[in-house]
Amino acid sequence: MNIHSIVRTGLLFTAAAAVIGGCKPKAPGSVDTGDAASKVYVAPGKHDEFYNIVSGGFNGQMSVVGLPSGRVFKILPVFSVHPENGYGFSEESKPMLNTSHGFVPWDDLHHIALSVTNGEHDGRWAFGNANNTPRVARVDLTTFETVEILEIPNSAGNHSSPFVTANTEYIVASSRFSVPIGDDKSRDVPINTYKENFKGTVSFIRADKEGDMHIAFQLVTPGVNFDLARAGKNKSHGWFFFSTYNTEQAHTLLEVNASQKDKDFIMAVNWKKAEEYIKAGKGKVVKAKYAHNVLDHNSGIATSTMKDEVIQLDIKEFPDIAYMIPCPKSPHGTDVDPSGEYIIGSGKLAAIIPVFSFTKMLKAIETKDHEGTYDGIPVLKYESVLKGEVTKPGLGPLHTEFDGRGYAYTSMFVSSEVVKWDIEKLEVVDRAPTYYSVGHLMVPGGPTTKPHGKYLVAYNKITKDRYLPTGPELAHSAQLYDISGDKIKLLLDFPTIGEPHYAEALPASLIKDKQVKFYPLEKNSHPFATKSPDATKIERKGKEVHVYMTSIRSHFGPDNIEGIKLGDEVYFHVTNLEQDWDVPHGFAIKGANTAETLIMPGATKTLKWVPDRVGVFPFYCTDFCSALHQEMQGYIRVSPAGSNVPLTYSLGK
């Protein structure tokens, strides 16, 4: 059986175990439970040590999880609408999901990148990628809100994204699927002209200022699939490394056709050089339509602006920007160790892990130690760049993280295990089974220059028998390991929200005291804000009715409204007057073709309602806010079109 069919059968772990015998995990539950339980126990009222920001995969969200407890604190909507708090439903938040394709209410979020300064977590932002309709989002870690989304033009399948440079100068996003780019004419080509017409792109997004993500430049590359990437750090700061597959340039049955070559490439990019060319005016300005969406902190209103051009550099025309490093068998992850010297390729069909040396790479570039070119890009000699190979690591290496103590941890999808190895000696020193088929893994601070070490979380692709079964659709699963000692120890299983891909964790102490508790009313600049109970009013503008409403424990003002007519569009602009932590009010009305809206203290949110029949309709608060929460309600009367019921509103009459 060749390795390719092992990978396929590997999808069912039991089949793979039969093939590779020795790698079969021990029976589930083989944990020293007493010790493990105390290590993950966070006593009631006590706090976790780490915030873990976890991608939600096909649910399009991030989740916020405490470590070591595995407790979920929040589902943080990013690329998918979230009826629970009205994200994507309130008038204020809809523009956040605008794209050049219009309103897109869903996406597939795979990777988290936390902002860094000097290569270390700085606790400012979390970034995430939309895989399907290419976008990158920024989340503010003081409000845990999505505050900015930038669409990526000329990209398809924004998988190799987002990855940050050591001072968050750039967020980098490259396209998984190459596609024809350019104007209508150059895009309308037969699929079987892939080799001539399809291109990859790598976008360098300036991301160091909130509200100002923009594509500084876009590299046009040969038509390959970009899978993942990492920025250089310390000595390799200024470089970026991208794993590629389908360098065969197949356009059909990639399962077979993109696995032909013995080696694909890690593409090394000298982004400081690219920056110089851009500064020197060498970039080409091309037309491109893409959205940039920003949330204003004081008004709470998102705005969407359509951009119309992007600056490109074709890497073929600039011979000192990019180099190809041969890497065995369709590499998935490419990871850079904390020193910045070693670049680890994870050929998902390979039986070894190649470790490349940055110093040797520079030397090979300098001495033109090439083995040829690929589509005009120099290909360096494998042996000249290689530090060495980790032999017999297991099967199906995908991703590598670091503990800052000289060890690397690689996830092995096919043999379902995490493998610990010595970065200098390239020797496997320990391994631990995962249940089952681990994809990403995460060490807090693992991709930074100063990993926080201590724990490792495996994000598994198959859950099978780990939890009480829930029909055909099962929760995905994460597993927490203690890596503080010589041996990797399994501590805890916990189910996840959506399908987790990458996650990053940072020490709670970095951000917990910076949390915004409420929005100061005096700073609320929403044009429909109502800042005191006596300022409530209703304005009719033709068929549009604007209700300036307030909410405070435990009533809405006004709570009786008459004079609405069929054919009207009613906008409830609800300001939460509370100035205290943890007192949101919700607003919902019968028959609304939208979600509720949940309003944080000091904020204003708008729910649009188009009544479809005559009658009296109740509205109410959805969040249990006080002992009299059940009393927090009101009525609105809808009369036939053309009726002469005057527009009136009241509270307490």
As a whole number of angstroms, the distance between CA 591 and CA 610 comes to 8
Q: What's the closest the beta carbon of residue 23 comes to ligand RUQ, in angstroms?
A: 18
The CA distances from residue 423 to 190, 242, 426, 430, 508, in Å, are 46, 20, 5, 13, 29
Using the contact rule CB under 6 A, the part of the chain among 46-54, 71-79, 509-517, 616-624 near ligand CUA is 616-624
Least distance between ligand RUQ and beta carbon 225 (Å)? 12
Chain centroid to Cα 82, Å, comes to 16
Q: Is 331 in the site for ligand RUQ (CB under 6 A)?
A: no
**Position 502 contacts ligand RUQ (CB under 6 A):** yes
- For residue 612 the two structure tokens come to 């479809």
The window from 114-122, 214-222, 601-609, 619-627 that contacts ligand CUA (CB under 6 A) reads 619-627
- What gap in Å lies between CA 520 and CA 358, rounded to an integer? 50
**Is 111 among the residues that bind ligand CUA (CB under 6 A)?**
no
Token readout for 350 is 């390979």
- What are residue 374's DSSP bridge partners? 377
Work out what residue 624 binds among ligand CUA, ligand RUQ, none; the CB cut-off runs from 5 to 8 Å by kind. Answer: ligand CUA
Q: Which residues fall within 8 angstroms of residue 44, CB to CB, at 6 or more apart?
A: none
DSSP 8-state symbol, 573: E
Applying CB under 6 A, does 581 fall inside the site for ligand CUA? no
Pick 445 or 602: Cβ nearer ligand CUA: 602
Q: Which of 215, 114, 120, 140 is nearest to 173 (CA)?
A: 215
- Can you tell me the distance from the alpha carbon of 355 to that of 339, in angstroms, rounded to the nearest whole number? 13
Residue 623: contacted member of ligand RUQ, ligand CUA, none (CB under 5 to 8 Å, by partner type) = ligand CUA
Q: Which of 82, 94, 111, 135 touches ligand RUQ by CB under 6 A?
A: 111
Answer with the entry of ligand CUA, ligand RUQ, none that 426 interacts with (C-beta below 5 to 8 A by kind). none
Among 139, 621, 636, 638, binds ligand CUA (CB under 6 A): 621
Find residue 613's DSSP bridge partners.
Answer: none
Is residue 272 near ligand CUA by the rule CB under 6 A?
no
The residue among 141 and 621 lying less far from ligand CUA, judged by its C-beta, is 621
> Partners of 648 in the beta sheet?
562
Q: Which of residues 522-551 bind ligand CUA (CB under 6 A)?
A: 551
Which one, 201 or 411, has the nearer CB to ligand RUQ? 411
- CA separation, residue 573 to residues 300, 323, 332, 406, 598 (Å): 12, 55, 48, 56, 12
Instruction: Confirm or reject binding of residue 398 to ligand RUQ (CB under 6 A).
Output: yes
Find the binder of ligand RUQ among 119, 157, 222, 439 (CB under 6 A): 439
When asked if residue 624 is in the footprint of ligand CUA (CB under 6 A), the reply is yes
Q: In whole angstroms, how far apart are CA 535 and each of 299, 538, 547, 574?
A: 18, 10, 11, 12
Residue 376 zone, left/alpha/beta (φ > 0; ψ -120 to 50; rest): left
Contact 155, 172 (CB under 8 A): no
- Is 332 near ligand RUQ (CB under 6 A)? yes
Nearest Cα to 304, choosing from 476, 104, 570, 441? 104
Quick one: 340 or 584, whose CB is closer to ligand CUA? 584
Under rule CB under 6 A, which residues in 414-453 are in contact with ligand CUA? none
Q: Write out the residues near ligand RUQ by the rule CB under 6 A.
A: 110-111, 159, 332, 398-399, 439-440, 501-502
Which residues contribute to the site for ligand CUA (CB under 6 A)? 551, 554, 585, 621, 623-625, 629, 632
